[in-house]
Chains A and B, each alone.
Chain A
Amino acid sequence: MQLDDLKARADELRSEAARSHRIRVCLAASCQSSGAGEVCEGFERAVESAGRGDDVEVRRVGCLGLCSAGPLVAVDGRNAAFSELYRHVGPDDVEGLLDSVEGEPVEQLRCPTDVPFFQRQHKVVLENSGLVDPDRIEDYIAQDGYQALVRAVTEMTPEDVLREVQTSGLRGRGGAGYPAGLKWSTVAKAVESPKYVICNGDEGDPGAFMDRAVLESDPHRVLEGMALAAYAVGASRGFVYVRAEYPLAVERLERAIRQATKEGFLGHGVCASPFDFTIELRMGAGAFVCGEETALMASIEGLRGQPRPRPPYPAESGLWGGPTLINNVETLANVPPVVRNGGEWFASIGTPDSTGTKVFALAGRVENTGLVEVPMGITLREIVEEVGGGVPDGRAFKAVQTGGPSGGCIPVELTETSVEYDTLRAVGSIMGSGGMIVMDETSCMVDVARYFMEFCMTESCGKCIPCRAGTVQLHDLLVKIADRRATSADLALLEELCEVVQMTSLCGLGQTAPNPVQSTLRYFRHEYEERLVETPPGEFLVPLDVVDT
Chain B
Amino acid sequence: MPPKPQSPTTSVRVVTLTIDDIDVGAREDETLLQVAAENGVRIPSLCHLDGLGEWGGCRLCLVEVEGSSKLLSACSTHVAEGMCVRTDSEKLRRYRKTIVELLFAERNHVCSVCVSNGHCELQDLATECGVDHVRVPYRNDVFHVDSSHDLFRVDHNRCVLCTRCVRVCDEIEGAHTWDVMGRGAGCRVITDLNQPWGESDTCTSCGKCVQVCPTGALVRKGTAVGEMEKTPDFLPYLTQMRGEV
In chain B between 141 and 189, which residues have their CB closer than 8 angstroms to a CB of chain A?
160-161, 180, 182-187
Is A309 in contact with B161, judged by CB distance below 8 angstroms?
A: no
In chain A between 451 and 471, which residues have their CB closer than 8 angstroms to a CB of chain B?
457-466, 468-471
Cα distance, A191 to B9, chains bound together (Å): 12
**B8 interface contact, C-beta 8 A:** yes
In chain A between 432 and 479, which residues have their CB closer than 8 angstroms to a CB of chain B?
457-466, 468-473, 476
Is A500 in contact with B184, judged by CB distance below 8 angstroms?
A: no
Is A462 in contact with B73, judged by CB distance below 8 angstroms?
A: no
Is B98 in contact with A496, judged by CB distance below 8 angstroms?
A: yes
State the Cβ distance, A473 to closest chain B Cβ, in Å: 5
Is B4 in contact with A304, judged by CB distance below 8 angstroms?
A: no
Of B12-20, B51-59, B222-230, B234-242, the stretch lying at the interface with chain A is: B51-59
Is A465 in contact with B5, judged by CB distance below 8 angstroms?
A: no
Nearest residue (CB) in A for B55 is A463
- CB within 8 Å: A-B pair count: 114
In chain A between 169 and 205, which residues have their CB closer than 8 angstroms to a CB of chain B?
191-194
Return the contact of B183 from the options A191, A237, A287 (Cβ within 8 A): A287
Chain B contact-residue range equals 35 or more
**B62 interface contact, C-beta 8 A:** yes
Is A465 in contact with B102, judged by CB distance below 8 angstroms?
A: yes
In chain B between 171 and 227, which residues have their CB closer than 8 angstroms to a CB of chain A?
180, 182-187
Is B2 in contact with A500, judged by CB distance below 8 angstroms?
A: no
**A506 interface contact, C-beta 8 A:** yes
Is B106 in contact with A462, judged by CB distance below 8 angstroms?
A: no
Cα distance, A473 to B102, chains bound together (Å): 8
**A503 interface contact, C-beta 8 A:** yes
Is A473 in contact with B105, judged by CB distance below 8 angstroms?
A: yes
Is B98 in contact with A460, judged by CB distance below 8 angstroms?
A: no
Return the contact of A462 from the options B7, B55, B139, B161 (Cβ within 8 A): B161
Nearest residue (CB) in B for A457 is B184
Is B185 in contact with A503, judged by CB distance below 8 angstroms?
A: no
User: Could you jot down 29 A-B contacts, CB within 8 Å?
Assistant: A191-B8, A192-B5, A193-B5, A237-B2, A308-B56, A308-B76, A309-B54, A309-B77, A311-B76, A311-B77, A322-B5, A457-B184, A459-B184, A461-B184, A462-B182, A462-B184, A463-B56, A464-B57, A465-B160, A472-B106, A472-B139, A473-B102, A473-B136, A500-B95, A500-B98, A503-B95, A504-B62, A506-B57, A511-B70
Residues of chain A having any CB pair with chain B under 8 Å? 191-194, 237, 287, 304, 308-309, 311, 320-323, 457-466, 468-473, 476, 493, 496-497, 500, 503-506, 511
Going nearest first, the 3 A-B pairs with the smallest beta carbon separation are A462-B187, A309-B76, A469-B102
